[in-house]
Structure 1
Amino acid sequence: MLVRSKILVAIAVFAVALSCSREKTESGETYLEVPRHFPSVPFPEDNAYSDIRFELGKKLFFDPMLSIDSTISCGSCHKAEFAMADAFAISPGVEGRLGHRNAPSLLNVAYQPYFMTEGGLPTLEMQVLAPVQEHTEMDFNIVLIAERMKTSNSYVEMSQEAYGREPDPFVITRALANYERTFISGSSRYDTYQFYGNSGALSPSEKRGLSLFRSEKTQCSVCHSGLFFTSYEFENNGLDSVYSDIGRMRLTGDSADEALFKIPSLRNVEYSAPYMHDGRFATLEEVVEHYNSGGANHPHKSERVRPLNLTQQERIDLVAFLKSLSDPSVQMDERYRVK
């Protein structure tokens, strides 16, 4: 039975892989692969996709020269094996300084309507500046990064080919955003089941978990809705009665936004442990148990977060379904790894 199960999984993943399309550009072969059931990637007019922009962005993404002491790169906290997140509760920055929150997954970041946990940045190009300047992350200046790039013939040549100009903040932010928009993940067994009619792609337990996920009993799918399993809204899920992190209020200054956080996608959630904005939960079982308990009382806690009274089997089924959202192809994809 174990061998048969592995064969079915391989067939399911292969079926979704076949459903991916390549968006052609004038540069010929492209690195951009989009599942057929996904919308086209929304590249802005001043940063349309091209292979050279991808290659420049990838080179920058994994280059530690983006940090003040040349020890930390974007790829230090966003790794393919962890769904473009990492395995730390709070990621260390330069000199081992701890940041403020758990590093989020960057998969399917191209489709987000706004960025950061508070939702304060409207474009991916603008988001690039945040970790570069943040004291507990890279603690550097993007103008000085450009000066470092100018000492490299490779960077100068790539910048000219990609954007028709020498390395500067425009090139850095556009190239990184161009690369990050290719972090597309939609080849899970759930996708094979839901969009390509393969009823055998999910186990009986996973199917029960899917039904439970969509049920009135749990209402999981209200917040974790749509193709990307998130409404992108801001909610409080009852982690604490008093929060040291004020959440969206950090951006707005409005007390009504205290302890509200942007709802994350559940795609590839199996790979991106630990969980919550502070990484307090090590396993999906702990996450499900939190919601089953109803959480702590807080004035802004969502009314949907309440005791669920799930049976042990229901908790097992829910975790099983969440793992069916995993896309193992991402972990092996050379586009998202250093060679």
Structure 2
Amino acid sequence: MGARSSKTLYSLAVLALAGLMVGTALAQAPASTPAQRAELGRHLFYDPLLSSDGTVACASCHQPQRAFTDGRATSLGAGGRAGVRSAPSLVNVGARTRLFWHGGSPSLELQALGPLSDHNEHDLSPGEVVARLRGSRYAPDFERLYGRPADLSALTDALAAFQRSIVSYQSPFDRYSAGDAGAMSEAAVRGLDLFYGKAECFHCHAGRNLSDNLPHNNALLLFNPDIGLASLTGHDSDVGKFITPTLRNVALTAPYMHAGQLQTLPEVVAHYNSGGEPNPNADPLIRPLNLTPQEEADLVAFLESLTDPAVATNPAWGRPHSVAGENP
């Protein structure tokens, strides 16, 4: 593929510079608790102030009733412009170390700068972001919590503090794992055995968050210009590789895959059961599984058992009453 694009190099340079800003600024911050910073972040997360046309908030694409996704194949940003990827879930996102679908950001603080400046998302320059914050009702909050006027490092810290508070481990699967034998249906229990047995899902969907946090090509044909990890590395072998998403609350996050190519969980299971589509970079773990129709249904039942209903209703993660508008 050759060298990285100038846009990619620029983006990486911005992220590196921002990392220095965040570390320096936070070292100078006065005492404030993570809960206080998270509450400020929650207000900012739901406020469309930080978009060029005043219509897009973080919550526009990350809605609690959809496990902090938006139900679209590819998300819409300022001016109604469509991006090229599906909004990933933010549930337990604080545990992830590779953010964005291609894994290009190592932290939530740095990740926030991407959508803020992206033309197809919030569409604001760094200077515009700071000017809006300093002229907003949030200006006193930044002075109180950070001891200085609002800036990018304080903004991204507050947003990250809120997102790290979105922690969910109360699904039927969690209760079953803790010893409640009646928490899951018989079909879901059979699906659990398949997940860690014949279907071998656990190779990529590993650990407490059911993600190895690594890039894989999942044997889907590419129908859009998004080439995944290769946009960062420039390597042909990385074309179509994306970070494994969490399966927690996956029944709420349709459509599936990085660009919403599959609409339902049965379609996802059928894709992997078939061994995927012809793709030179397909992960060698993806091969025909020979699951029966009943086994496919049981696997879907297990995936549905990963839903924690409290994600959609926890008031600590919902829209603050002081932010205008209806819950997304």
TM-score range, shorter chain: 0.7 to 0.9
Percent identical across equivalent pairs? 43
Q: For 1:174-189, list aligned pairs within 5 A.
A: 174-189=157-172
For 1:73, the equivalent position in structure 2 comes to: 57
Identify which of 187, 203, 210 aligns with 1:205. Answer: 187
For 1:289, the equivalent position in structure 2 comes to: 270
For 1:336, the equivalent position in structure 2 comes to: 317
| Between 92-101 and 236-245, the greater mean CA deviation after superposition | 236-245
Q: Relative to structure 1, is the Cα distance of residues 72 and 210 closer, same or farther in structure 2, using a 3 angstrom cutoff? A: same
Are residue 137 (structure 1) and residue 121 (structure 2) matched? yes
Are residue 116 (structure 1) and residue 100 (structure 2) matched? yes
Which string of whole-angstrom CA distances, capped at 9 and with x for unpartnered residues, describes residues 274-317 of structure 1? 10111021110111111111111211111121111211110110
- Matched residue pairs, number? 292
For 1:214, the equivalent position in structure 2 comes to: 196
Q: For 1:205-244, list aligned pairs within 5 A.
A: 205-215=187-197, 217-240=198-221, 244=225
What is the root-mean-square deviation in Å for CA atoms of aligned residues? Answer: 1.5
Q: For 1:1-339, list aligned pairs within 5 A.
A: 49-152=33-136, 154-194=137-177, 196-215=178-197, 217-240=198-221, 244-338=225-319, 339=321
Q: Secondary structure at the match of 2:273?
A: helix
Q: Is the 8 A contact 2:84 2:224 kept in 1?
A: no
Structure 2's unaligned 5+ residue stretches are 1-25, 322-328
Q: Secondary structure at the match of 2:182?
A: helix
Once the two structures are TM-superposed, the CA of residue 245 in structure 1 deviates from its matched residue by 2.3
* Structure showing greater relative contact order (alpha-carbon pairs closer than 8 Å, 6 or more residues apart): 2
CA distance in 2, matches of 1:183, 1:220: 25
Q: Relative to structure 1, is the Cα distance of residues 143 and 104 closer, same or farther in structure 2, using a 3 angstrom cutoff? A: same
Q: Relative to structure 1, is the Cα distance of residues 238 and 95 closer, same or farther in structure 2, using a 3 angstrom cutoff? A: same
CA distance in 1, matches of 2:34, 2:105: 24
Once the two structures are TM-superposed, the CA of residue 264 in structure 1 deviates from its matched residue by 0.5
For 2:21, the equivalent position in structure 1 comes to: none
Give the partner amino acid of 2:195: F
Which string of whole-angstrom CA distances, capped at 9 and with x for unpartnered residues, describes residues 98-133 of structure 1? 001000001111000121111111111000000001
Give the partner amino acid of 2:271: H
CA distance in 2, matches of 1:52, 1:304: 44
Once the two structures are TM-superposed, the CA of residue 142 in structure 1 deviates from its matched residue by 2.9
For 1:39, the equivalent position in structure 2 comes to: none
Once the two structures are TM-superposed, the CA of residue 241 in structure 1 deviates from its matched residue by 6.9
Give the partner amino acid of 1:64: P
Q: Relative to structure 1, is the Cα distance of residues 244 and 166 closer, same or farther in structure 2, using a 3 angstrom cutoff? A: closer
CA distance in 2, matches of 1:63, 1:142: 17
CA distance in 2, matches of 1:241, 1:171: 38
Q: Relative to structure 1, is the Cα distance of residues 326 and 49 closer, same or farther in structure 2, using a 3 angstrom cutoff? A: farther
CA distance in 2, matches of 1:172, 1:141: 14
Q: Is the 8 A contact 2:222 2:240 kept in 1?
A: no
| TM-score in terms of structure 1 length | 0.83
CA distance in 1, matches of 2:266, 2:305: 15
| TM-score in terms of structure 2 length | 0.86
For 1:40, the equivalent position in structure 2 comes to: none
Give the partner amino acid of 1:227: R
Structure 1's unaligned 5+ residue stretches are 1-44
Q: Is the 8 A contact 2:98 2:243 kept in 1?
A: no
Q: Is the 8 A contact 1:78 1:106 kept in 2?
A: yes
Q: Is the 8 A contact 1:291 1:305 kept in 2?
A: yes
Q: Secondary structure at the match of 2:100?
A: coil
Q: Is the 8 A contact 1:143 1:168 kept in 2?
A: no
Once the two structures are TM-superposed, the CA of residue 333 in structure 1 deviates from its matched residue by 0.9
Q: Is the 8 A contact 1:86 1:272 kept in 2?
A: yes
CA distance in 1, matches of 2:107, 2:246: 18
